[in-house]
Amino acid sequence: MKVTIFTDGSARGNPDGPGGYGTILVYIDSNGTEHVREYSGGFKKTTNNRMELMAAIMGLEALTKPCEVDLYSDSQYLVKAFNEHWLEGWIKKGWKRGKNEPVKNIDLWQRLLKAIEPHKVRFIWVKGHDGHPQNERCDVLATTAADGDNLADDVIL
């Protein structure tokens, strides 16, 4: 089953303000019918990078069976971690990077790795705020969630 996921994260007053994520899942069934689901949520105090990761997590966790996934994101932090094998290096070093500094957002990276396990995922970078329709829609979902009233607590911040 082939699924396309579009994601975006947003944080107001990054790194200590409210934030949100937006995710769109697209699946075309065997009859050629397109099915679209949208997900979003907001947090009281978070960072942009955490919301970028959360958007990808929510999309992948919504899948109920193994899929071939093209995941589009405007976050180089997310895309390069997989495509340039940053994650492999961090894990080999015991979740350390660079000058033996701890990797940020380990909780979400680990959750994302678990969410990926049953799937074959290809990460694709898209330029943000450049007219890509699904990326623009994800941005609206993320910023609307960040500006909402029912914000959750981010467990790390």
Catalytic residue among 19, 20, 41, 139: 139
CATH of the domain at 78: 3.30.420.10
Examine residue 70 and state whether it is found in any structural domain, yes or no: yes
Which residue range forms the structural domain that includes residue 10? 2-146
Instruction: Provide φ and ψ at 67, rounded to 5°.
Output: -135, 160
Examine residue 72 and state whether it is found in any structural domain, yes or no: yes
Catalytic residue among 9, 20, 22, 59: 9
Rounded Cα gap, residues 78 and 75, in angstroms: 5
Domain count, the chain: 1
The answer, as to whether pTM is greater than 0.85, is yes
Active site residue 132: no
Instruction: Provide φ and ψ at 71, rounded to 5°.
Output: -110, 120
Examine residue 152 and state whether it is found in any structural domain, yes or no: no
Strands, E assignment, the chain = 2-11, 17-28, 34-46, 68-73, 96-97, 101-102, 120-125
**pLDDT tens-place string over residues 75-127:** 999 999 999 999 999 999 999 998 889 999 999 999 999 999 999 999 999 99
**Amino acid identity at 66:** P
Examine residue 86 and state whether it is found in any structural domain, yes or no: yes
